[in-house]
Amino acid sequence: MAYHLASRGTNQSTLVDAGRARFGDGAFTLIAGPCAIESAMQIEQTARFVAENGTPLLRGGAYKPRTSPYDFQGLGDEGVRMIGDAARRAGVGAVVEVLSSEQLPLLCEQVSMLQIGARNMQNFELLRAAARTRMPILLKRAASATLDELLYAAEYVLAEGNPHVVLCERGVRGFDRHTRNLLDLAGAVRLKELTHLPVIADPSHGTGRASLIEPMVLAAAAAGLDGAIVEIHPDPSVAKCDAEQALDFPGYTRLVEHLAMLREVQPSKVRLSACR
Ligand code: PEP
Ligand code: MN
């Protein structure tokens, strides 16, 4: 059987509300924050900055799925509490990746959206357990997953009775060392043809380079995607994780300004979504 719950069919686009953010209403919704929560000060500072820019959702990893076990693994439960506090104080929502179902109760208390990362896209038990919390889920495409496989993964969540799924294109494994992954924007637009679920892009993991984030976000907006998730850091040079693919604060402010300019030439497609 095909992914019948996820397929577009005659369905209108699905609206997904996550804290103060909404995906799928035609606006372009931004999520921004560090790859990893590193300290209370770092996440507080970032939460305030994100709120000042009108960005409705703060990201930050607490349980980090690192390729090497010797790299920084995240602050764990303590990090979840830090981002929860920081987001509440700043008046934004928070999205944090979940790696195992034991982490769900604390996450549900502290954040407004759960991320299932590329490495767990086909962890079907985790998909089911996360779905049962009824929390909105940001589901990232695995580095070598086809679009059909991503949609079947989404179907696991929908079949559990949770319709709040946002899909994220974060780059597939390529062959050229100049970009970390190949950001498949055409695939993301194709996904919008195949499904009624909102689709966003992650140009940080999709390219691995800070300099490529803004052009790829503008391209995603012009192509009619529902938003983007961007890694930012108060000082990317000292970031403990994914330092090369984080914008600094002035770079992110420029990106938001340029998105607003794009909206002037393409008003129907590029309406920036601010805090609700
Ligand atoms: C992340 O968002 O920090 C992350 C680990 O992403 P991905 O699962 O896409 O690699
Ligand atoms: Mn990262």
For the stretch 65-95, pLDDT in tens is: 999 999 999 999 999 999 999 999 999 999 9
User: Residue 273 pLDDT > 70, yes or no?
Assistant: no
Spacing, Cα 208 to ligand 2 middle (Å):
9
User: Residue 266 pLDDT > 80, yes or no?
Assistant: no
Q: What is the pLDDT of residues 129-139, one digit of tens each?
A: 999 999 999 99
Q: Kindly give the number of the ligand 1 atom that is closest to the alpha carbon of 141.
A: 9
Q: What is the pLDDT of residues 157-190, one digit of tens each?
A: 999 999 999 999 999 999 999 999 999 999 999 9
Alpha helices in 101-141 (DSSP H): 104-110, 124-132
Task: Report yes or no: 33 and 56 within 8 Å, Cβ to Cβ.
Answer: no
Q: Which sign, positive or negative, has the C-alpha torsion 4, 9, 11, 13?
A: positive
Q: How far apart are CA 116 and CA 52, in angstroms?
A: 27
Residues with CB under 6 A from ligand 1: 35, 61, 65, 117-119, 140, 170, 202, 205
Q: How far apart are CA 32 and CA 46, in angstroms?
A: 9
Range 261-268 average pLDDT: 74
In this structure, which residue's CA is closest to atom 4 in ligand 1?
Answer: 117
Mutational test site, ligand 1, from 114, 119, 204, 245, max ligand atoms within 8 Å of CB? 119
The H or E element containing residue 11 is none
pLDDT tier, 8 (very low <50, low <70, confident <90, very high otherwise): very high
pLDDT tier, 263 (very low <50, low <70, confident <90, very high otherwise): confident
Contacts for 39 with CB less than 8 Å, ≥ 6 apart: 82
Ligand located closest to 245 CA: 2
User: Residue 275 pLDDT > 60, yes or no?
Assistant: no
In this structure, which residue's CA is closest to atom 1 in ligand 1?
Answer: 35
pLDDT at 2: 85
User: Residue 270 pLDDT > 90, yes or no?
Assistant: no
First to last CA, the chain: 38
Spacing, Cα 122 to ligand 1 middle (Å):
14
Q: How far apart are CA 203 and CA 209, in angstroms?
A: 8
How high is the mean pLDDT of the chain?
95
